[in-house]
Amino acid sequence: MTDELRSRAQDLAMLCLRIGLAVFFFRPGWAKIASLRGIIGLWQRLHLPLSSVFGPIHAIVEFGGSILMLVGLFTRLVGSLLAMDMFGALVIVKIHTRTFISQEWLAFWMSVALLVVGAGAYSLDAMFGRRRAARATSQ
């Protein structure tokens, strides 16, 4: 396999990973945005600190993160926020319910992968990066 073909395959894999993660977070993120009182109440029932602040932030990270991940904008930042979100969910849910949650583990590792490798060529991150590079060479 040539380097160019391998690079395209990796970029396509990153696109698929981003789409999968965006789909995973879109619906629950929207549900949290649509019912901020519900997410604040959940944070209160779990005895989490500053529930009226962090509950809405949690909702914004999931919903907004899904949209940004889909288009590949701020991918590494969003990947880190979603990884922290899932790690927190795993720790808190495991403590309170004593269950193993496989979907959250999958979302955690997908988020970490995108944090490490970035969005790939088929993303707004790459498009803006190419523009910055072109401006830098033209100056």
Q: What is the pLDDT of residues 18-37, one digit of tens each?
A: 999 999 999 999 999 999 99
Three-class secondary structure of residue 122 per DSSP: coil
Count of structural domains within the chain? 1
3-state secondary structure of 50: coil
| Rg (the chain; Cα; Å) | 17
DSSP state of 119: S
State how far the Cα of 64 lies from the Cα of 3, in Å rounded to an integer: 34
Burial environment of residue 132 by CB neighbours within 10 A (0 to 12, 13 to 18, 19 or more): exposed
Residues 77 and 28: their CA atoms lie apart, in Å, by 20
pLDDT at 113: 96
Domain coverage including residue 39: 3-138
Distance CA(100)–CA(15), nearest Å, equals: 28
pLDDT digits (tens, 9 = 90+) for 56-107: 999 999 999 999 999 999 999 999 999 999 999 888 877 777 776 778 899 9
- 5, pLDDT greater than 90: no
In this prediction the pTM is 0.89
pLDDT of residue 1: 63
Q: Which pLDDT does position 91 carry in this prediction? A: 87
| CA dist., res. 27 & res. 18, Å (int) | 15
Q: Is the pLDDT of residue 38 over 80?
A: yes
